[in-house]
Amino acid sequence: MTRAPGRLSIVMPCYNEQQGLADSARQVLQVLSDLVARGRVGEGSNLWLVDDGSRDGTWGVIETLAAADQRVVGLKLSRNRGHQNALLAGLMNADGDAVISLDADLQDDIGVIDDMVSAWQSGFEIVFGVRRSRDEDSFFKRWTARRYYALLRLLGVDVVPDHAEYRLLGRAALEALSEFPETNLFLRGLVPQLGFRSTQVFYDRKARTAGETKYPLRKMVGLGLDGITSFSAVPLRLIAAGGAALFVLSSIVAVWVVGVRLFTDHAVPGWASTTLPIYALGGVQLLCLGVVGEYVAKVYMEVKRRPRYLIERVAGDVGGVVRTDKSKPQQ
């Protein structure tokens, strides 16, 4: 299967990217111009910039870019909804035949966009951008990332190691993605669930040239927990298995205690044999309650069915229609 050149949309979520956004947009637009000039993608290919409730002048930069170049479209969310929801807003509104998601800092190598387009035209519906190595990361980040991906595989979560949000989705994959209404988004785990024909393109990640990372340790931990609790019930099953094991162990200890008391003279009263099990079991119970509570909280957020994002303003030509989450298209 070979696809004819189609329109390509590139989606870039932005949060407090005033410092480097203009240069990032210039580089991406240059790539689009080159692809159109060589007949690799069709006329009308565009760049979608999604402002995730930035507190600096990011939206002003987007408006300026949209006014200067008709290929630039801007969406401003009503408030900060998080990277995953901002990315989803762009994906659901982008009008290209294929859509590439890309972080605004351009640490992901835009030089492989051509390879992604080639893979899509050859018949792949999903193309994952995968880091070739993590040599530039700190030891802590590299070690935790590897352990995390190993844990996800152990729990049965289908993810692509060393892949973040740099990917190409064809129109069929985007339509399928729109059928997943969950509030707790973990797109790097959700996209492989779509099941379409996919491949990988490898690249070297660059150093950030402006601004600061929008994923500090706290947010990375939160995203990691979303990845586990949104796609695996194994932790709950581990709690059940641990409870059963503790019950068996407690029964054995109870038999031993009764035997010592009835058949020997070595029963020495002491607080250690009483307080130690109480504290140990109490800690296990609190841990189990915490895990169960995390799942209950996820269910609570899902059943309320609140919109994952609301679009406040639009810049540029969006074709007259903006799709807000869980609503009919609005003019």
- Write the DSSP assignment of 179-194 as a string of letters: T---SS--HHHHHHHT
Asked whether residue 238 is domain-assigned, the answer is: yes
- 169 and 239 in one domain? no
Report whether pLDDT(326) > 60: no
In a domain, 50, yes or no: yes
Same domain as 55, residue 167: yes
Distance CA 112, CA 14 (A): 21
Q: Which residues of 131-166 are buried (b: 16+ CB within 10 A; e: fewer)?
A: beeeeeeeeeeeebbeebbeebeebebebbebbbbb
For residue 328 the two structure tokens come to 């009919």
By C-alpha distance, which of 5, 239, 199 is closest to 116? 199
Find, among 107, 124, 271, 116, the residue nearest to 196 by Cα. Answer: 124
Is 167 in the same domain as 310? yes
Alpha-carbon distances, residue 331 vs 122, 314, 324, 326 (angstroms): 36, 11, 11, 15
One domain, residues 300 and 310: no
Residue with token string 């927990």: 225
Regarding whether 176 and 132 lie in a shared domain, the answer is yes
> What would the pLDDT profile of 81-128 be if each residue is shown by its tens digit?
888 999 999 999 999 999 999 999 898 999 999 999 999 999 999 999
What is the spatial distance between Cα 46 and Cα 70, in angstroms, rounded to a whole number? 8
Checking if the pLDDT of 173 tops 90, the result is: yes
- Mean of pLDDT over the chain: 81
Q: Domain with 185 in it: what CATH number? A: 3.90.550.10
Q: Is residue 83 part of a domain?
A: yes
Question: Looking at the 3D structure of the chain, how many domains does it have?
Answer: 2
Q: What does the block give as tokens for 114?
A: 């051509």
Interacting residues of 211 by C-beta distance below 8 A, sequence separation 6+: 16, 17, 19, 20, 105
> What is the token pair recorded at 308?
């994952």
CA–CA separation, 285 vs 222, rounded Å?
Answer: 23
| pTM for the predicted model, two decimal places | 0.74
Residue 330 lies in a domain: no
Q: What is the pLDDT of residue 257?
A: 64
Indicate if the alpha-carbon torsion angle 71, 77, 83, 87 is positive or negative: negative
Do 245 and 201 fall within a single domain?
no
As a whole number, mean pLDDT of residues 303-326 equals 77
Q: What are phi and psi of 171, to 5 degrees?
A: -60, -40
Confirm whether 321 is domain-assigned: no
306 has a pLDDT exceeding 80: no
> Is residue 284 domain-resident?
yes
Q: What is the pLDDT of residue 282?
A: 67
Copy the structure tokens of residue 290.
């915490």
- Is residue 163 classed as helix, strand or coil in its secondary structure? strand
For 292, the domain range is 234-304
* Burial group, residue 87, by CB count within 10 angstroms (0-12, 13-18, 19+): buried
- Portion of the chain with pLDDT greater than 70, in percent: 72
Same domain, 99 and 153: yes
Residues 31 and 176 in one domain: yes
On whether both 60 and 24 belong to a single domain, the answer is yes
Same domain, 133 and 12: yes
Looking at residue 318, its amino acid is V
**Are the CB atoms for 207 and 136 separated by under 8 Å?**
yes
Say whether both 99 and 241 belong to one domain. no
CA distance 208 to 107: 6
Whether 327 is covered by a domain: the verdict is no
CB-CB contact of 314 with 76 (8 Å): yes
Domain membership of residue 323 (yes or no) is: no
Q: What pLDDT sits at residue 134? A: 73
One-letter amino acid of 53: G
Q: What is the pLDDT at residue 329?
A: 41
Same domain assignment for residues 107 and 23: yes
CA dist 97 and 234 (Å) reads 37
